[in-house]
């Protein structure tokens, strides 16, 4: 099954476009998690992430662990265990490694092995700045997907992504060229393996990306704590199959710090998923 087909199956099976981000921050863990293992941060991370997955799985179609939150704590082994557990216990959910890698040659091959072999990801986020050479090693993993940074949700994305191009690409901005490459070039698309990251904070640009790459799955951060407009995102990027993986992290993860933290996370996920319908 191609990655595009995996996305379509997840949207259909769960009737949801919600992707729950896993950004474990021990300083924000609910009190019961800290109390259960007061001297073991890694145990807290694993218990918290498992609890979030269990609570939100009925309402989402994907989970997106951000590797920096694990690596900063020396919790890579925890992320490995979570990957094995999610793939075994929730086989119909997508597991997306948010690592924003970007390199070429043997280094890119190692990053691809890390994502698909070590962490068992269905897909991984990549920077496309080094071009098609940096994508090829990931496309070699049959069925594995990539999400290329295109129009990111941060204000500083304007520095490069909005630059107008010249020559044969006159009339396009840099982020539009990235979308066009995915739509038109096999070495940027693979076997239906490449999606795009487009921030919810820029719905007009999201609509432009959808027009340029009508079939590509779009990973959309920026809903929730970053203030993206859900209705505008749906209007700009939704397709008949779904088309969007709309990510929310902090607004779900830290919805409540009490003994009812899982119930609160589940409610936040359920409400957001329902709003997408």
From the number of C-beta atoms within 10 Å of its C-beta (0-12, 13-18, 19+), residue 159 rates as: exposed
Q: Which residues, in sequence order, are bridge partners of residue 145?
A: 123
Exposure b/e, 241-271, CB count within 10 A at least 16 = b = bbbbbbbbbebbbbbeeeeebbebbbbbbbe
CB 115 within 8 Å of CB 89? no
For 63, list phi and psi in degrees, rounded to 5: -125, 145
- Active centre residues (catalytic): 100
Here the tokens at position 101 are 């890698």
CB 119 within 8 Å of CB 111? no
């Amino acid at each position: 099954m191609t990655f595009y087909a995996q996305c379509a199956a997840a949207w259909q099976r769960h009737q949801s476009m919600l992707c729950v981000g896993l950004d474990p921050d021990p300083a924000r863990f609910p009190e019961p998690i800290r109390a259960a293992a007061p001297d073991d941060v890694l145990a807290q991370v694993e218990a918290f992430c498992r609890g979030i997955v269990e609570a939100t799985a009925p309402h989402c179609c994907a989970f997106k662990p951000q590797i920096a939150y694990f690596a900063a704590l020396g919790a890579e082994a925890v992320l490995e265990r979570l990957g094995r557990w999610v793939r075994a216990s929730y086989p119909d959910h997508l597991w997306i490694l948010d690592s924003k890698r970007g390199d070429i040659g043997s280094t890119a091959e190692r990053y691809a092995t890390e994502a698909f072999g070590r962490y068992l990801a269905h897909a991984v986020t990549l920077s496309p700045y080094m071009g098609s050479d940096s994508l090829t090693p990931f496309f070699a993993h049959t069925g594995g997907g990539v999400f290329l940074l295109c129009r990111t949700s941060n204000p500083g994305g304007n520095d490069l992504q909005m630059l107008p191009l010249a020559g044969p690409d006159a009339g396009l901005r840099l982020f539009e060229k990235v979308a066009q490459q995915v739509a038109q070039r096999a070495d940027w698309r693979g076997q239906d393996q490449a999606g795009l990251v487009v921030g919810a904070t820029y719905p007009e640009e999201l609509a432009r990306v959808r027009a340029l790459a009508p079939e590509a799955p779009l990973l959309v951060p920026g809903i929730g704590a970053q203030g993206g407009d859900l209705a505008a995102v749906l209007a700009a990027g939704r397709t008949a199959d779904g088309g969007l993986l709309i990510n929310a992290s902090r607004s779900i993860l830290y919805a409540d710090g009490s003994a009812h933290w899982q119930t609160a996370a589940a409610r936040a996920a359920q409400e957001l998923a329902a709003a997408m319908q």
